[in-house]
A and B are shown apart, each in its own frame.
Chain A
Amino acid sequence: MRELFRQNRSIIHQMDARVKVIFTLAFVLFLSLTPFNAWPAYILFLTLILSAALFSRLGLGFVLKRALLALPFILAAVPLIFIGPPPHITLDVFRGVQLTYSPEGLGRFASIAVKSWISVQVAILLAATTRFPDLLTALQQLRVPKLFVAIVGLMWRYLFVIVDEVTRMARARTSRSATVPGSHHHGGSVSWRAGVTGGMAGSLFLRSLERSDRVYAAMLSRGYTGELPASDTRPLSNGDRQLLALGVVLLAMLWLLGLFSGG
């Protein structure tokens, strides 16, 4: 597993992390408040985020490719195509097999798919242009509850450890996945394999739980009281404020456009 962050000295990389965090949240908020079928607005939102990707010198492909991460979540919206608002249209798909769908529902599904895809892009851009510790500091400076910031930080720290653990377990299993000479029948039944995978997940969960106990004990023994050391709360510079205001006004304008053009 590798970090998303890519080192370079673009304008976007050097921006104050707080500006980027607020802008990202505002972006996702305005985009999700934009009504269904507001295609002109979606295109402008996409243009905005792709321009930012170009400015950050990550390249368009970097963000677009990774945004496919949103795909599995889009599946949750698929039923809308069939149970959307009336009128419903019936199609003859194949010799008597009929498919009923709602054009309005299809539009909503497409809107949700595009919105989530664009939202994931902006999150990826944030993560790829901001060092993770800077992101945590920014969250803290923006008065996100300290406990929450601590949880996010520790999760990040141990995610890599746990991924290593998963790799080693998978290796150990592969090492015992053998065949006998002259037999073509191997691999076990699907339900047995599912059981084994379930067992691995359970064992990983137990180990993570125990690890968390050990980590917490180690933190306590180094004087952890539940409070993270306070970070300096240097106010945003005037330039940063103006930049942020400009960005948010731009987002609000796109949203207004969406209100008028959407259905």
Chain B
Amino acid sequence: MNPIIEIDHLSFHYPDGKVALSEISLKVMPGEKIALVGANGAGKSTLLLHLNGIFEGSGQILIGGMEVEKKNLGLIRGQVGLVFQNPDDQLFSPTVYEDVAYGPIYQGLGEKVVREKVEQALAAVHMSDYAGRNPYHLSSGEKKRIAIATVLSMQPRILVLDEPTSGLDPRARRELIELLRELPQTMLIATHDLALAENLTPRTVVLDQGAIAADGPTAEILADESLLLAHGLS
């Protein structure tokens, strides 16, 4: 089986010259769920924004064998569903329905197909009753689910989530983790929430100052107290 995400020697620096990512290489197999952990400023979000070509570093990224480059970006963005940390950045329509429909409408699909995809996506996050609501007035947990639905409606093969549990109360957090466990997509989750990694993702990648510091089974990494301490995670 071929990897669904293949990152080869990816480096990136900000316009001011500060190094954000250095020599990242990572292979992800279809269906894998991976936690990407690291202290603030370790480069987690920057790495995620490379996966659908919002940022362009040096090195190579393949998504399903397709190189992330200008001419493929349209297709790649349909395959990599990026869920941002703050749902308010992602939800901008007057109703939940319109927000979830954005992706399919942009893809130029017919009205009937769009409706089907929206209904499927809302059902997948257990929010079918919310189609007519205004996203602005939902709770954080509900907004998070809708934000996930807005990318599920494009039927991506990969879900990339940035800090999905931040700002959620314990119940909303538990329900979100349940939801993520149900979804069949390959997942890359940037998080500080080590308990999420323990519960959900068999594999963990530790990022520190833009480089991969460790990559292995979650149980082993979480058991290594000195490793966690050295990289600002404990």
Stretch at the interface among B6-14, B80-88, B168-176, B219-227: B80-88
Which 5 residue pairs are nearest across A and B when measured between Cβ atoms?
Answer: A179-B74, A178-B78, A178-B77, A186-B108, A185-B108
Q: State the majority secondary structure of interface residues on B.
A: helix
Asked if B74 and A178 sit within 8 Å, CB to CB, the answer is yes
A169 to B90, CA, bound (A): 6
Asked if A186 and B150 sit within 8 Å, CB to CB, the answer is no
Does B109 sit within 8 A of A, measured CB to CB? yes
Asked if B89 and A165 sit within 8 Å, CB to CB, the answer is yes
Kindly report which residue of chain A lies nearest to residue B49, judged by CB atoms. A171
Kindly report which residue of chain B lies nearest to residue A165, judged by CB atoms. B89
Q: Give min CB distance, B132 to chain A, whole Å.
A: 15
Instruction: Name the one of A176, A185, A192 contacting B77, with C-beta atoms under 8 angstroms.
Output: A176
Q: Hey, which chain B residues are within 8 Å of A181, CB to CB?
A: 75
Instruction: Name the one of B77, B86, B109 contacting A175, with C-beta atoms under 8 angstroms.
Output: B77
Q: Give min CB distance, B74 to chain A, whole Å.
A: 3
Asked if B92 and A199 sit within 8 Å, CB to CB, the answer is yes
Q: Give min CB distance, A203 to chain B, whole Å.
A: 5
Q: Hey, which chain B residues are within 8 Å of A169, CB to CB?
A: 89-90, 92
Kindly report which residue of chain B lies nearest to residue A179, judged by CB atoms. B74
Asked if B136 and A206 sit within 8 Å, CB to CB, the answer is yes
Does A174 sit within 8 A of B, measured CB to CB? yes
B30-82 contacts to A (CB < 8 Å) = 49, 52, 54, 74-80, 82
Asked if A196 and B108 sit within 8 Å, CB to CB, the answer is no
Q: Contacts A186-B107, A188-B106, A203-B136: A175 and B54 contacting too (C-beta < 8 A)?
A: yes
**A residues whose Cβ falls under 8 Å from a Cβ of B:** 165, 168-169, 171-181, 183, 185-188, 192, 196, 199-200, 202-203, 206-207
* 17 residue pairs from A and B, CB less than 8 Å apart: A168-B86, A175-B151, A176-B103, A176-B151, A177-B106, A178-B75, A178-B107, A179-B74, A180-B107, A185-B108, A186-B74, A186-B106, A192-B105, A199-B92, A203-B88, A203-B136, A207-B88
Asked if B107 and A168 sit within 8 Å, CB to CB, the answer is no
Q: Give min CB distance, B102 to chain A, whole Å.
A: 6
Q: Hey, which chain A residues are within 8 Å of B74, CB to CB?
A: 177-179, 186
B152-168 contacts to A (CB < 8 Å) = 154
Instruction: Name the one of B82, B91, B105, B136 contacting A188, with C-beta atoms under 8 angstroms.
Output: B105
Q: Hey, which chain A residues are within 8 Å of B108, CB to CB?
A: 179-180, 183, 185-188
Q: Give min CB distance, B15 to chain A, whole Å.
A: 10
Give the interface size class of chain B. 20 to 34
A140 to B203, CA, bound (A): 58
Q: State the majority secondary structure of interface residues on A.
A: helix
Asked if A172 and B89 sit within 8 Å, CB to CB, the answer is yes
Asked if A199 and B103 sit within 8 Å, CB to CB, the answer is no
Q: Contacts A186-B107, A188-B108: A179 and B78 contacting too (C-beta < 8 A)?
A: yes
Does B234 sit within 8 A of A, measured CB to CB? no
Q: Contacts A175-B54, A178-B154: A196 and B93 contacting too (C-beta < 8 A)?
A: yes
Q: Hey, which chain B residues are within 8 Å of A187, CB to CB?
A: 106, 108
Instruction: Name the one of A172, A178, A203 contacting B84, with C-beta atoms under 8 angstroms.
Output: A172
A140 to B129, CA, bound (A): 55
Asked if B77 and A177 sit within 8 Å, CB to CB, the answer is yes
Q: Hey, which chain A residues are within 8 Å of B217, CB to CB?
A: none
Does B202 sit within 8 A of A, measured CB to CB? no
Q: Give min CB distance, A3 to chain B, whole Å.
A: 14
Greatest chain A CB density within 10 A among B49, B80, B154 is at B154
Kindly report which residue of chain A lies nearest to residue B99, judged by CB atoms. A199
1/0 contact string of B5-25 vs chain A (CB within 8 Å) = 000000000000000000000
Asked if B77 and A196 sit within 8 Å, CB to CB, the answer is no
Does B94 sit within 8 A of A, measured CB to CB? yes
Asked if A203 and B92 sit within 8 Å, CB to CB, the answer is yes
Kindly report which residue of chain A lies nearest to residue B147, judged by CB atoms. A172
Kindly report which residue of chain B lies nearest to residue A181, judged by CB atoms. B75
Q: Hey, which chain B residues are within 8 Å of A206, CB to CB?
A: 136
Kindly report which residue of chain A lies nearest to residue B136, judged by CB atoms. A206
Q: Contacts A165-B89, A168-B89, A207-B88: A178 and B106 contacting too (C-beta < 8 A)?
A: yes
Greatest chain B CB density within 10 A among A178, A180, A181 is at A178
1/0 contact string of B114-144 vs chain A (CB within 8 Å) = 0000000000000000000000100000000
Known pairs A169-B90, A178-B74. 11 more at Cβ < 8 A?
Answer: A168-B84, A171-B49, A176-B151, A176-B154, A178-B76, A178-B78, A178-B106, A180-B108, A186-B108, A188-B105, A196-B92
Kindly report which residue of chain B lies nearest to residue A178, judged by CB atoms. B78
Instruction: Name the one of B80, B93, B107 contacting A199, with C-beta atoms under 8 angstroms.
Output: B93
